[in-house]
């Protein structure tokens, strides 16, 4: 019988992981894709090894009974409904591993507003009537309470973990106080070989001032603050803005603001694109700006470094801290005023990521994890 159970959602990089896992321990893992429907066509995952599991509250006892047969359950994020009825009910003999994706781990702090900059806070209240705003105050209190409840659940998940996998050590450092016995393993789904990007010297830097802004239609991108700053410094290039997933109302507000400030310069990307097309569009830009306070859009940022782009991050972002510790060139908002005058060692960034994010490196982390539970 297989020894490791993986609980996953339908995401773009899951196939990368399955390839890695099967290379080091063939047929030792089972891969569940949780679905709120008994039958579903997967949008991203193509692997034939996955099993679609109907994920509902009434099925939890049966799912727990099945999961308890494994030596380890590996949670690929905490983005699952009814997780408190599953993870916290697993037998004590089952080892628990978890990959820290970002928003799932940051839920331990209920204060979502600290992730939003001033202009973005204003934007999300745009076009609301007085009655809507008063209702919003009431709902905000309920929302804060719900976030507090969720934060306590996530802290309890942390306390049950045996392993936390992330390549951003700053994220692990934020949560280890909740469970000092939890082991950290450096891991990233995106290996440079699987992403498949040639050196920057092969593609060259575009001779333009185009910028790539954000990764989704979520307020933590802080689009409004970024767009207003670009207007203030008279940004002359096109602005490519991925908004293909997230909050629909927020997406429309960002598009409205972007078009108001920049007209045809603002180019929203509202449809899901295959990775190859996504890379082609990003390749048209000289600058990639992720205006998140917390760690988010890691795959986009790594891709940008490999493509030889000027990467703009906030100083307090744990991704910025990690990349700088590795020696990768990372820039901040004020650099945009005269970005082309700043030196950028494209080859150094490319070589460092190939060293830190290699396929073999990811395999070593998984080997360590599997070996601890007698797999492989």
User: In this structure, are strands 72-76 and 163-165 parallel, antiparallel, or unpaired?
Assistant: unpaired
Residue 133 belongs to some domain of the structure: no
The alpha carbon dihedral of 220, 306, 356, 24 has a sign of positive
289 plus 342 within the same structural domain: yes
List pLDDT tens digits, range 163-178.
999 999 999 999 999 9
CATH number for the domain harbouring residue 67: 3.40.50.2000
pLDDT bucket at 182, cuts 50 / 70 / 90: very high
Tell me, yes or no, whether 307 and 365 share the same domain.
no
Per-residue pLDDT at 123: 94
- Are residue 223 and residue 280 in the same domain, yes or no? yes
Question: For residue 135, what pLDDT is reported?
Answer: 60
182 and 226 inside one domain: no
Chain segment 319-331, per-residue pLDDT in tens: 999 999 999 999 9
Pair of tokens at residue 260? 């108001």
The reply to whether 166 and 217 lie within a common domain is: no
CA distance 88 to 82: 10
Instruction: Measure the CA–CA gap between 93 and 287, rounded to whole angstroms.
Output: 49
Place of tokens 């600290």: 114
Burial class of residue 267, CB neighbours in 10 A (0-12, 13-18, 19+): middle
CA triple 252-253-256, angle to 5 deg: 85
Task: Please give the pLDDT value at position 203.
Answer: 53
Please state the length of the chain: 376
Mean pLDDT lowest among 78-92, 121-135, 183-197, 275-289: 121-135
What is the rounded end-to-end Cα distance, in angstroms, of the chain?
13
Residue 330: inside a domain, yes or no?
yes
Q: Look at residue 134 in the predicted model and tell me its pLDDT.
A: 57
Q: Identify the residue with better confidence: 112 or 217.
A: 217
The pLDDT assigned to 199 comes to 63
The pLDDT score that the predictor gives to residue 375 is: 85
Residues 341 and 196 in one domain: yes
- Asked if residue 126 is part of any domain, the answer here is no
User: DSSP string covering 4-39, please?
Assistant: EEEEE-S-TTHHHHHHHHHHHSTT-EEEEEEESSSS
pLDDT digits (tens, 9 = 90+) for 236-251: 999 999 999 999 999 9
Using CA atoms, how far apart are residues 325 and 319, in angstroms rounded to an integer?
A: 10
Is 175 inside any structural domain? yes
182 and 301 belong to one structural domain: no
Whether residue 170 is contained in a domain is answered as: yes
pLDDT in the model for residue 205? 61
Is residue 206, in this structure, part of any structural domain at all? Answer: yes
Same domain, 313 and 181: no
Using DSSP's 3-state secondary structure scheme, residue 281 falls into: helix
Three-state secondary structure of 70-124: CCEEEEECCCCCCHHHCHHHCCCCCEEEEECCCCCCHHHCCCHHHHCCHHHHHHH
Bridge pairing between strands 95-99 and 72-76:
parallel
Domain that holds residue 243: 192-356
* Same domain as 161, residue 213: no
The whole-angstrom distance between residue 326's C-alpha and the CA centroid of its chain comes to 20
Task: Tell whether 132 is covered by a domain.
Answer: no
With H, G, I as helix, E, B as strand and everything else as coil, classify residue 125. coil
Contact 21, 361 (CB under 8 A): no
Same domain for 201 and 101: no
Asked whether residue 130 carries a pLDDT value surpassing 60, the answer given is: no
What is the pLDDT confidence band of residue 140, given thresholds at 50, 70 and 90? low
| pLDDT at residue 206 tops 70 | no
| Helices within the chain (DSSP H only) | 14-24, 60-67, 118-124, 130-160, 169-175, 192-195, 200-203, 223-232, 248-262, 275-283, 298-306, 318-326, 346-356, 359-372
Percentage, residues of the chain above pLDDT 90 = 72
DSSP letter (8 states) at residue 239: E
Residues 184 and 51 reside in one and the same domain: yes
128 inside domain? no
Q: How many domains in the chain?
A: 2
CA distance 365 to 349: 22
> Do 175 and 235 fall into the same domain?
no
- State yes or no: pLDDT of 194 exceeds 80: no
* Model pLDDT, residue 273: 87
Distance CA 293, CA 38 (A): 38
- What pLDDT score does 62 carry? 97
């Amino acid at each position: 019988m297989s020894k490791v159970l993986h609980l996953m959602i339908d995401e773009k990089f899951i196939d990368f992981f399955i390839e890695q896992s099967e290379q080091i321990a063939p047929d030792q893992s089972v891969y569940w894709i949780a679905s709120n429907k008994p039958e579903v066509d997967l949008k991203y995952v193509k692997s034939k090894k996955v099993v679609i599991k109907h994920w509902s509250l009434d099925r939890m006892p049966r799912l727990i009974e099945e999961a308890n047969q494994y030596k380890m359950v590996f949670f690929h994020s905490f983005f699952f409904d009814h997780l408190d009825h599953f993870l916290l009910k697993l037998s004590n003999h089952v080892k628990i591993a978890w990959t820290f994706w970002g928003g799932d781990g940051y839920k331990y702090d209920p204060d979502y507003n600290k992730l939003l900059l001033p202009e973005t806070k204003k934007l999300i209240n745009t076009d609301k009537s007085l009655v809507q705003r008063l209702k919003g105050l009431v709902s905000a209190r309920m929302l804060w309470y719900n976030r507090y409840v969720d934060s306590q659940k996530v802290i309890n998940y942390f306390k049950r973990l045996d392993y936390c996998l992330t390549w951003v050590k700053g994220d692990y450092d934020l949560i280890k106080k909740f469970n000092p016995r939890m082991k950290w393993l450096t891991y990233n789904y995106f290996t440079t070989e699987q992403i498949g990007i040639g050196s920057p010297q092969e593609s060259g830097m575009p001779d333009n001032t185009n910028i790539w802004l954000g990764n989704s239609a979520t307020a933590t991108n802080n689009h409004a603050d970024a767009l207003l700053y670009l207007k203030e410094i008279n940004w002359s290039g096109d602005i490519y803005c991925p908004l293909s997933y997230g909050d629909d109302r927020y997406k429309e507000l960002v598009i409205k603001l972007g078009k108001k400030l920049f007209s045809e310069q603002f180019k929203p990307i509202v449809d899901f694109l295959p990775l190859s097309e996504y890379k082609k569009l990003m390749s048209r830009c000289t600058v990639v700006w992720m205006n998140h306070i917390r760690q988010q859009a890691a795959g986009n940022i790594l891709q940008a470094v490999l493509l030889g782009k000027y990467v703009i991050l906030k100083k307090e972002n744990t991704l910025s801290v990690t990349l700088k510790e590795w020696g990768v060139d990372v820039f901040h908002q004020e650099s945009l005023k005269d970005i082309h005058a700043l030196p950028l060692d494209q080859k150094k960034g490319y070589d460092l990521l190939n060293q830190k994010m290699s396929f073999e490196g990811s395999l070593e982390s998984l080997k360590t994890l599997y070996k601890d539970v007698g797999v492989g």
